Amino acid sequence: MRPFEEIVASHGATVLRVCRAVVGPADAEDAWSETFLSALKAYPGLPEGTNVEAWLVTIAHRRALDVGRARTRRAVPTDVLPERADARSDPQNRDPDLWAALERLPDKQRHALAYHHIAGLPFTEIAVILGNSPDAARRAAADGMKTLRRYYAEDDIA
């Protein structure tokens, strides 16, 4: 079995990109740290021949969701209430930034895109992570890509 430090060096960047796609850049590092803490505990019992990258992406998916949920539960003190909704939740917000565009996608589409195009996982493994079929994972990724293209086309027109 490879030393855990090699696993982190080999797959750390991919895990960070997946975390960014799931929770955004602000919380990605926390999710990344949580991923590797969880992986370190489980690594000694990992069966021989396991696809380590897919295993890490699965952990990253779960930890990123946990970090995202924790963020939404925290109170944010403020002196003045905003007069309008957060721009990220406004469907008319056409920010060309990739992370902002990904954030606007439905969860399944965003996750399928991240796992396939960022982590490079096959749809059979994505289906296991998302709890659906390979065809559904492929469809979610295709729909997400179509939506991203539409967002960027609208940005170019505006």
Statement to judge: residues 10 and 60 lie in one domain: yes
Domain count, the chain: 2
Statement to judge: residues 55 and 99 lie in one domain: no
Neighbours of 29 (CB within 10 A): 14
CB within 8 Å of 122: residues ≥ 6 apart:
116
Give me the helix-helix angle, 134-157 and 123-130, nearest 10°.
90
Q: Are 43 and 7 in contact (CB under 8 A)?
A: yes
| Alpha-carbon span 22 to 19, nearest angstrom | 5
Instruction: Tell me the pLDDT tens digit for each residue of 37-88.
Output: 999 999 999 999 999 999 999 999 999 988 888 877 776 677 776 665 544 4
**Looking at this protein, which amino acid is placed at residue 70?**
A
Instruction: Tell me the pLDDT tens digit for each residue of 100-145.
Output: 788 889 989 999 998 888 888 899 999 998 999 999 999 999 999 9
Q: Residue 11 belongs to what domain range?
A: 1-76
